[in-house]
Amino acid sequence: MRRRQSLVVALTAAVLAGAFCAVAFAQTTPPKVLEDNQVTEKNLLDALTPSAEELEGIRTRSLRVAPAGGPVAGNQAGSATAATLVPRRDVSLLVTFVINSATLTNRAQQLLDVVGRALKTDQLAALKFTVEGHADPRGNRQSNLALSQARAESVRKYLIAAHGVEDVRLLAVGKGDTELLNRAKPTAPENRRVTLVTRLE
């Protein structure tokens, strides 16, 4: 009996370890960064459109919180795992701003015009997105966070004003310098990016 219990414990540990590895992989997969000539409606749709399986999982997944100390309601454990393992649909753009400000350059507006058209397509029109602003580590952390938030807001406002994207579809979030893509070169342009993330909710 003791041997059987040990085997069950070992198998459970192996399953949990595999789950943690899967979660880590999903979270550490680097975002796609599109350069100027790569910002096309097709590339944006490929990066941001959830698969049919992902959409079905969102529709059918129900996550109910159990009372403190109480049993898990329904299939909460399985639902929580499924929610954690949903791949992140995102794309990063090298949107440029006036130095040390949140003012979009003319080129940035041209890139966002492509984004605006993509967000109005049939594939994306019903979805919501987070606009993440990122900064390089020059300056202090607090000012970088404020600047990245202001830049995310600038992108959000432009998409709403210039392309009629509904404001409820876009959430602006500043990440500061906490998610560098190029740690070897902190001042690299990809560390000053804007990332669009499909909100699978």
Q: Model pTM greater than 0.75? A: no
Smallest CA-to-CA distance from 179 within 88, 46, 51 is with: 88
pLDDT at 100: 83
* Correct CATH for 32-50+89-199 of 3.30.1330.60, 1.10.3720.10, 3.20.20.70, 3.50.50.60: 3.30.1330.60
User: pLDDT above 70 covers what percent of the chain?
Assistant: 68
pLDDT tier at 57 (50, 70, 90 boundaries)?
Answer: low
Smallest CA-to-CA distance from 44 within 109, 89, 86, 91 is with: 91
Q: What is the pLDDT of residues 153-175, one digit of tens each?
A: 999 999 999 999 999 999 999 99
pLDDT at 24: 32
Is residue 5's pLDDT more than 70?
Answer: no
Q: What is the pLDDT of residues 7-41, one digit of tens each?
A: 333 333 333 333 333 333 344 445 568 888 899 99
Output the CA torsion sign for 109, 110, 115, 121: positive
Higher pLDDT, 5 or 164: 164
Smallest CA-to-CA distance from 132 within 143, 119, 145, 142 is with: 145
Domain range annotation of the chain: 1-30, 32-50+89-199
Smallest CA-to-CA distance from 30 within 83, 94, 93, 90 is with: 90
